[in-house]
Amino acid sequence: MNASTKSNSTDPDFLAIKSLFEAKIIKSMKLLEKQGPTKMAKALGLQYNSYLDKLNNPQKFTFAHIFKIANLCDLDPDLIYKVIKNQARV
């Protein structure tokens, strides 16, 4: 599957997340609460409240979660990791 086919098949909520990360608007994982949280929780195999807890405490995200989010959003996992790393420092 090439990149353009992948983007065309990516869920609109996940494309919105991709855009927010790539535009460097996401400075805190908590900002993802408004971006299809039920859909993302389900895609990650998490309960809704567990996903919200991870957004508020991003150090709880595993590398598997980070790579899954990156894959779902057609996004570089480093962008997600950097946000988590910066947020965990605060």
d(C-alpha 8, C-alpha 63), whole Å = 26
For residue range 3-25, list pLDDT tens digits in order.
444 555 789 999 999 999 999 99
Q: Is 2's pLDDT higher than 50? A: no
Model confidence at 89, pLDDT cuts 50, 70, 90, reads confident
Q: Which of 67, 15, 8, 57 is closest to 39 using CA atoms?
A: 15
- What pLDDT, on a 0 to 100 scale, did the predictor assign at position 60? 96
d(C-alpha 57, C-alpha 72), whole Å = 21
- What pLDDT, on a 0 to 100 scale, did the predictor assign at position 8? 56
Q: Both tokens of residue 46?
A: 């998490």
